[in-house]
Structure 1
């Protein structure tokens, strides 16, 4: 039984744990001396079932935690990454506060916790030493997918950090032992259910809310499908950004830029200097997968004259409905759900299909957003695009028919992979700096898109016009608008189209009394998704623009 000097926590479901009274067990007393005021922890109690190991463990972990010379932020980064990879919630809980004390930011902790997004992260979020340490940890932890080249890169970064040649090898051995030792720790934590946390989700470094929000489509009074939504909240007082994905992707396409917006800026400049003391403007974030993408649902076909399951105005309507849903309002409104209007969102940010949805949202905005950022998109279907989308649908179905099971089976097993193989190179043409890791990630995302979700989105993009219709774009009352394109997208035609849109919007908006500017910017050398192939340039441009109001 634990004494008053110990911290027993929740009992393990596998072993009882041992808490020898002070003065009755030399090993336990040595552990208490290292732990200080906490006394024996649930981890120590499980280890004390094997006293000889508990004593050796105490010496080993004491040396790794306090006896080395690695920078504290790098040591804790590696430990926390192991906790995330090995699903060791206890390890994360114990070390997140230590990591923050060593200087790790919320955005950096998010990178560490996010094991689904391929490494490396974009430049400026982590230091070059932190980045290589993260890659090293993954390589040693996951199937020993390690190379001598990676070890040499780690040593080179230690040298750049300021270590002498003799110190480099010592620090490299220390880093190797930290990763090896804490892999042992994480596996013991999970195998013996320390603090009853085996099977529990590893925490995130901020409030993370995940919902499948039921929304209506054709009839506002009835729900027809769900929208998979992730809300990342740091503070009730922090402003919100909402992100809308492209066709053939899901919310994860934004993963490389999320840490930047959580921290409100870069942590290191291009020369590697620490700039975390600079002025910051962090944000809360809402990410969602548009209907028919990721795990978001697709409504049944309507019975009216427009039988499409997706249109651009309906995508905009989905954003409105998820923002005004009880689930999201309870997160955004500091006083919970109320009868008042939702607090204004700082910006709706969309790309491609999501960019068109953002423009449609601007056309119908009733004060719910201060700004809109529309990337690599247009305000209406460009000439010839309807036929191009129809051709892509035919590629997916091969010789099969859209309506029969043979065509559906082919599309799911072969067609979407074929579409991925031609789409990703078109999105990121020659000159785009897309890495092989990100290319593979995006191809996998495209190929796993629901077939019907793709077809519905293609039909939406093949026939839409936001310039005319019931909510003309040029009459929008959204105060701030940024149009953005990668210079390589469509051979430059997408950027040219957005420049023309800006010019027409400025002229026609003036006749509606619009005084605030419509701005355009271009990411040189980027393709269709600048937030994927050059996320650092995307963040630089968008972050600077958002900070202006």
Structure 2
């Protein structure tokens, strides 16, 4: 009942803090999905909710949406409560009435709570809806130093988490930017787990046969599962001997191999190797990466084309830009000069976050004060001007808590890479041209690097298409998100997913 109130009133904070309580009480992801979907009420005889749960859901729905509850709904809840009381009770009717009053009080009280939370934008969550439920599992996967040859390093691991809506749903696998953790996907995750629009083939099926295609969650929804991970030396992942002078240096292809290794371990556990023969239809619908993760996603396209249908690469480039090796060395020295711990990483965060979110990004620390809320603009061209500074502050905290060793591990991958040359990979990125290769979408924030990033990605698109289109591989798409910085899934989540979600639905 509390969760239905939260869903109707768009009280994300209320939903998040009660979903785990509901799971502890025994509710499943399927049941939570029905509770979250405010567009319908399941019939009393449905196979997903018990008669008492269905009656309670209907009461909460009507009380919240129209205040006045139809008499038959109230009577249905009273009957269900009466039936739930253990036989032999001395005063079944009195106890049922007490429970009915308590039910009404719970719904009324949490309507008050949700209105309080949303009206004051508690935790800056009032501008996005409650998340759609998924079963979250966490893993510590032994860290692979050389996945191609099965070499592991004792005592080290990659932290990964899966968010499963349905075991048979296709997968989205995400790769983070340098200096961030799985939490950077916090705002985009609820978009990826939400019911998705039907693709062109499914719409055609619906139109001609008048029935839902097979394989939809609960027979109604098309959903994705999501795999997230912390890259080496970041978040909850450890780091191997990369930081030793004689150790294996971290590279973009190694990070791409980490993605493939996690897929083979957590999504395709029956395969003995990521190079094993797999189904012609990959279970991974898309590999999505941003910045360093975007470069790793591009490398993945060339190295493991059979593992995914598509790749989305955001705000990155196919090679180390001129002068960037020295720039990364300077940043490492900046951290060392300020103690090498959190104080040093705080100095790094102070110059990194403004570069990620330059004004007028909604996450800009230059434009918005903490907690600032401004009036909606009169110009129809601007969709919203609510500041999202709490998001950039959350990312700043991720930078500060990254260890110096972890930063060095990640930075070393960005200091010297060239995916066009094909060094250390099966082939150059520009040779990924066959119709069997993954479809590719490039995305850039318009504010990233003052437009230099989108210009660079445009050149990659043109050079790639010059070879892909004649070979029948299909065109590489580039979308530029206006008002977005280096991490568009953070400051312009809705615009980012509107592009990515629609593109994925067509695959």
**TM-based fold match above 0.5:** yes
- Tell me the residue number matched to 1:341: 278
Quote the Cα distance in structure 2 between the aligned partners of 1:291 and 1:72: 37
Say which of 418, 424, 428 aligns to 1:472. Answer: 428
Quote the Cα distance in structure 1 between the aligned partners of 2:275 and 2:318: 34
Is 2:481 the counterpart of 1:523?
Answer: yes
Partner-residue secondary structure (3-state), 1:216: strand
- Tell me the residue number matched to 1:438: 391
- Tell me the residue number matched to 2:350: 421
Root-mean-square deviation (CA, aligned residues, Å) is: 4.0
Is 2:13 the counterpart of 1:83?
Answer: no
Give yes or no for contact 2:302–2:429 (8 Å, CA) kept in 1: yes
Q: 1:214 to 1:263 in 2, by over 3 A?
A: same
Quote the Cα distance in structure 1 between the aligned partners of 2:475 and 2:10: 47
Say which of 310, 314, 328 aligns to 1:389. Answer: 328
Q: 1:536 to 1:363 in 2, by over 3 A?
A: same
- Tell me the residue number matched to 1:380: 319
- 1:374-413 CA distance string (max 9 Å, x none): 10000000111111111111111116xxxxxxxxxx1113
Partner-residue secondary structure (3-state), 2:306: coil
Give yes or no for contact 2:232–2:238 (8 Å, CA) kept in 1: yes
Give yes or no for contact 2:173–2:228 (8 Å, CA) kept in 1: yes
- Tell me the residue number matched to 1:155: none
- 1:463-483 CA distance string (max 9 Å, x none): 110000342111125231111
Please report the TM-score for the alignment, with normalisation by the length of structure 1: 0.60
Say which of 226, 229, 238 aligns to 2:160. Answer: 229
Is 2:225 the counterpart of 1:294?
Answer: no
Please report the TM-score for the alignment, with normalisation by the length of structure 2: 0.65
Quote the Cα distance in structure 2 between the aligned partners of 1:101 and 1:177: 22
- Tell me the residue number matched to 1:252: 183
Give yes or no for contact 1:298–1:309 (8 Å, CA) kept in 2: no
Is 2:161 the counterpart of 1:206?
Answer: no
Give yes or no for contact 2:176–2:292 (8 Å, CA) kept in 1: yes
Quote the Cα distance in structure 2 between the aligned partners of 1:98 and 1:81: 16
Q: Which has the higher contact order (CA 8 A, sep 6+)?
A: 2
Q: 1:537 to 1:391 in 2, by over 3 A?
A: same
Q: 1:436 to 1:480 in 2, by over 3 A?
A: same
Shift, 1:83, TM fit: 3.2
Say which of 489, 499, 506 aligns to 1:541. Answer: 499
Give yes or no for contact 2:196–2:505 (8 Å, CA) kept in 1: no
Partner-residue secondary structure (3-state), 1:217: strand
Q: 1:422 to 1:178 in 2, by over 3 A?
A: same
- Across the two proteins, how many residue pairs are aligned to each other? 376
Quote the Cα distance in structure 2 between the aligned partners of 1:96 and 1:451: 39
Shift, 1:347, TM fit: 1.0
Query: What are structure 2's unaligned runs of at least 5 residues?
Result: 40-63, 69-104, 115-131, 198-219, 364-387
Q: 1:96 to 1:177 in 2, by over 3 A?
A: farther
- 1:263-282 CA distance string (max 9 Å, x none): 2348xxxxxxxxxxxx9642
Query: What are structure 1's unaligned runs of at least 5 residues?
Result: 1-63, 107-157, 165-172, 183-203, 267-278, 400-409
Give yes or no for contact 2:469–2:475 (8 Å, CA) kept in 1: no
Is 2:453 the counterpart of 1:494?
Answer: yes
Is 2:293 the counterpart of 1:365?
Answer: no
